[in-house]
Amino acid sequence: MGLGAYAVGVEPRWLEVTHHEIRVPGLDSRLDGKVAVHISDTHVGKGVGDAYLKRQFEYIRGLDPDFVLFTGDYLDMGKDWHMEKGQKLLPFFPQGKLGTACVLGNHDYMNGHGRFVSAQQTQKLVDSFAEHGIKVLRDEVVEFEGLAIAGLRDFWFGQFSRISAREAIASVIDRPSIVLSHNPDTVDLPIWDGFESWILCGHTHGGQCRFPLVGAPILPVINKNYVAGKYDIEGGHRMFITRGIGHTRRIRFMARPEISVMTLRS
């Protein structure tokens, strides 16, 4: 009973701030030491309170980051009610001094029971981000002060295309770059030839509930090795999976919510 009370009442709000150094090939010396905050999976909706998210957004703004990189699942669902709540929170969303970019996750496209929201509803969310100066990348690239950020469509519900994803990745191979991809399963696709920098992901929630010797029994990825943290991927690129800020159901065990603070190194 005590462990159950902890998993429901304590850990889902016991956020951990982790610090990392990531080396970006070809990074201009002017960007060496700049800070990028990587966040994901806020799941704005019934389960994650506005006050909790506002506190985390305020904390991130207090870090005065140079970049803010968001890897999807802003909404718990793409329904009108969730959209309205998400729009009210967007003025509090933290932004980087040099740039802010994000991708959408599977929940941003969901209307419940595995159904998609309309393209118009998705565009409404994209436009809402844009109104607040935040670029949503859908197999697109944006450049901030010489750092290229490529963002991929969601692997499950985002009308993912290997062709357009490969084109976005290929366009940043010869530049200092970071790729945002909500679902870490994309790193196993044959679309990364020549890419030697970092891929930032979310989606897994760190397993949400992990147990000694067992690990995470429920993990929404094909490759069950992809849980959280840093991974060296065959082919020369590296991946970081953050555990995310929110949750779909309010329960976490040995998978605390996470804000990832990354110092860029050349």
Q: What residue type is 201 in one-letter code?
A: C
Mean pLDDT score, 125-148: 96
CATH of the domain at 255: 3.60.21
pLDDT number for residue 228: 96
Helix axes 80-89, 50-62, angle to 10 degrees: 30
Q: Which two tokens stand for residue 125?
A: 């969310």
Query: How do residues 57-105 score in pLDDT, each as one tens digit?
Result: 999 999 999 999 999 999 999 888 899 999 999 999 999 999 999 999 9
Looking at residue 4, what is its pLDDT?
A: 85
Residue 254 confidence (pLDDT): 87
Does 111 score more than 90 pLDDT?
A: no
Amino acid 230: pLDDT: 97
pLDDT, mean over the chain: 94
Report pLDDT for 249. 84
Residue 114 has pLDDT above 70, yes or no: no
pLDDT in tens, 20-64: 999 999 999 999 999 999 999 999 998 899 999 999 999 999 999
Domain that holds residue 231: 2-265
Query: What DSSP string describes 44-75?
Result: BSSSS-HHHHHHHHHHHHHT--SEEEEES--B
CA distance 101 to 141: 10
pLDDT value of position 3: 84
Residues 6+ positions from 255 with CB-CB distance below 8 Å: 11, 205, 206, 207, 208, 209, 210, 216, 228, 243
Digit-coded pLDDT (tens) for 215-257: 888 899 999 999 999 999 988 899 999 999 999 888 898 899 9
pLDDT band at 7 (very low <50, low <70, confident <90, very high): confident
Q: Is the pLDDT of residue 113 over 80?
A: no
Query: What is the number of structural domains in the chain?
Result: 1
pLDDT at position 192 over 70: yes
